[in-house]
């Protein structure tokens, strides 16, 4: 039966806006990944005391894009069997943090490990040594935004890719079962990691940001509104800003994803708007699933989380 909801979803499923990728996008990322592949992690993990009987909690510190210490929780189910376990690499939403270990209990209950990191400079323990030589709008998005090599998005992308490198070196982790996961900003990071890293084997991207970012700058109330504020102040840099963002836009990188991807979207979301998410999703060529929520705004509901857990369980099994 056709109704307004089904027609809206059908319309979104056909979205194919012009890509904004620069001609050297592929070459740029191939060279960037190669140059950072030899950068040392300088990592350490330290066992933490917690009141939780059924999880081992480690505080992790490593280096990603620069010398900024990136902090994370590495969580293991305490009474796991001897074999290696799957691992969920988790990225939080904009302005958030890795939170508390117990926030990831559902994954531990499935017998999975978790590595949850702070995104630099936001509300966690991780600072930000990223240099910038130009003014910024409020927040973090416009830091270094006048060049692809100095911008905040490059720093957080490399930080994320290095998180997977760290996980791949842990003796408890099954390298065939690593999930890139997150919501909002974290969903966008999870998606770009799936495009640029060969370590994750599936991805869960709830209401992801970093999709069709030119449309987001123009229309969204998300963190990308900071780029709009920057352009309003410095209109002469509009083209430069959009060029920089194009290198980190999941719409332009979606074709590089080669793993199964699970995506959710709220059709009433004014932050990570459905037009932006579908624009990226429709260019993914690998196995993929998208679940639209017609009456949801910018949120990850219990149903979204449960469906994602079913997706993970389908691909990883239950330990």
Q: 3-state SS string over 44-113?
A: EEEEECCCCCCEEEEEEEEECCCCCEEEEEEEEECCCCCCCEEEEEEECCCCCCCCCHHHHHHHHHCCCE
* Contact (Cβ atoms closer than 8 angstroms) between residue 114 and residue 108: yes
Q: DSSP character for 35? A: H
* Contact (Cβ atoms closer than 8 angstroms) between residue 109 and residue 82: no
Cα separation values, 200 from 4, 101, 178, Å = 37, 22, 5
Cα separation values, 230 from 141, 154, 209, 220, 240, Å = 10, 18, 19, 14, 12
* Contact (Cβ atoms closer than 8 angstroms) between residue 288 and residue 315: no
Residue 184 is among the residues annotated as catalytic for this protein: yes
CA distance 201 to 103: 23
CA distance 253 to 189: 12
Which of helix, strand or coil describes residue 145? coil
Residue 269 is among the residues annotated as catalytic for this protein: yes
* Contact (Cβ atoms closer than 8 angstroms) between residue 101 and residue 197: no
74 is in an annotated binding site: no
Catalytic annotation, pick one of 180, 184, 246, 296:
184
* Contact (Cβ atoms closer than 8 angstroms) between residue 265 and residue 277: yes
From the CB of residue 139, how many other CB atoms can be counted at a distance below 10 Å? 18
Outline where DSSP puts E strands in the chain.
44-48, 55-63, 69-77, 85-91, 113-117, 173-183, 202-206, 261-266, 288-293
Catalytic annotation, pick one of 118, 159, 269, 296:
269
Q: Which positions make up the binding site for substrate?
A: 94
Q: Which residues are annotated as a binding site?
A: 94
**Looking at the annotation, which residues are catalytic?**
184, 269, 298
């Amino acid at each position: 039966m056709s109704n307004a909801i089904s027609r809206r979803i059908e319309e979104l499923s056909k979205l194919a806006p012009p890509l904004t990728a620069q001609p050297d996008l592929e070459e740029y990322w191939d060279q960037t990944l190669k140059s950072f592949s030899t950068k040392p992690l300088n990592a350490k993990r330290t066992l933490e005391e917690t009141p939780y009987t059924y999880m081992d909690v480690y505080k992790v510190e490593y280096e990603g894009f620069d010398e900024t210490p990136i902090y994370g929780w590495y969580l293991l189910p305490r009474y796991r069997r001897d074999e290696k376990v799957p691992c969920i690499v988790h990225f939080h939403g904009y302005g958030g943090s890795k939170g508390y270990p117990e926030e990831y209990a559902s994954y531990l209950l499935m017998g999975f490990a978790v590595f949850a990191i702070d995104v630099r400079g936001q509300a966690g323990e991780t600072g930000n040594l990223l240099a910038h030589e130009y003014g910024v709008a409020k927040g973090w998005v416009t830091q270094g935004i006048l060049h692809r090599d100095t911008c905040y998005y490059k720093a957080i992308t490399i930080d994320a890719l290095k998180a997977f490198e760290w996980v791949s070196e842990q003796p408890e982790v099954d390298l065939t079962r690593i999930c890139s996961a997150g919501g909002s900003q974290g969903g966008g990071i999870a998606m770009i990691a799936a495009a640029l890293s060969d370590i994750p084997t599936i991805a869960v991207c709830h209401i992801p940001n970093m999709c069709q970012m030119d449309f987001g700058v123009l229309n969204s109330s998300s963190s990308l509104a900071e780029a709009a504020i920057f352009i309003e102040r410095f209109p002469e840099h509009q083209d430069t800003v959009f060029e920089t963002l194009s290198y980190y836009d999941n719409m332009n990188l979606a074709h590089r994803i080669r793993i199964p991807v699970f995506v959710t979207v709220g059709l009433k979301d004014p932050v990570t708007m459905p037009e932006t998410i579908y624009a990226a999703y429709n260019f993914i060529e690998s196995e993929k699933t998208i679940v639209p929520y017609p009456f949801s705004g910018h949120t990850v509901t219990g149903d979204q989380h449960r469906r994602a857990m079913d997706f993970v369980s389908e691909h990883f099994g239950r330990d």
